[in-house]
Amino acid sequence: MNKTLSYLNNDNIEYYTPDWVWDKLKPFIPNKVIWEAFRNEDEKSCHSAEYLRKLGFNVVNPLCDFFENNHGEICVSNPPFNRKREVLERLLFLDKPFMLILPNIVLNTVYFIDMCKNNDNIQIIILPKRIDFIKPDGGNSRSTFHTLVVCYKIDLPDRIIFI
């Protein structure tokens, strides 16, 4: 196992995005080379990249350490929630456009509030319902929290979009 990807191999954080979420987000995803940045050796972890390709997007999804690499023109992903702050900080540092699925509790964090105050390129897409993420064994989780999509430099028509 690649030690640099160990943050992706904890049973408590390894969940996959159902296709309906990508279907809802498709109209907002720019036609750029997408870096679906979070995966491990498991074939299931490539499902989002494969589905985004099926929707017509050009997607790169290399097995690499997110914190030491930079691929594509835009990052579209469901990052490990336990590293959300570091992921946001890295993408902002890279000045890379992104669309990240994150728990809505991020809105209440001091670091995110400061990020938004200092950057009017941050936008939010509110999803129509909770996401029951897919477990590594193929079953659905029964989500007890809401998620949203934090965007940067996506040029949405409003700062907050409800779909």
Query: What pTM was estimated for this model as a whole?
Result: 0.88
Residue 42 pLDDT grade (very low, low, confident, very high; cuts 50, 70, 90): low
Longest Cα separation, the chain: 43
Specify the CATH number for the domain of residue 10.
Answer: 3.40.50
Tens digit of each residue's pLDDT (9 = 90 or more) over 142-156? 777 899 999 999 999
Average per-residue pLDDT for the chain: 88
pLDDT, average across residues 67-96 = 96
Tens digit of each residue's pLDDT (9 = 90 or more) over 105-128? 999 999 999 999 999 999 999 999
What is the structure's pLDDT at 6? 45
Contact predicate 123/156, CB 8 Å: yes
Domain ranges, residue 128 = 3-162
What is the structure's pLDDT at 12? 53
Q: For residue 11, is pLDDT > 50?
A: no
Q: Can you give the three-state secondary structure of the chain, one letter per residue?
A: CCHHHHHHCCCCCCCECCHHHHHHHHHHCCCCCEECCCCCCCHHHHHHHHHHHHCCCCEECCCCCHHHCCCCCEEEECCCHHHHHHHHHHHHHHCCCEEEEEEHHHHHCHHHHHHHHCCCCEEEEECCCCCCCECCCCCECCCCCCEEEEEECCCCCCCEEEC
Please state the domain count of the chain.
Answer: 1
pLDDT, average across residues 72-87 = 95
Q: Which amino acid is at 80?
A: P
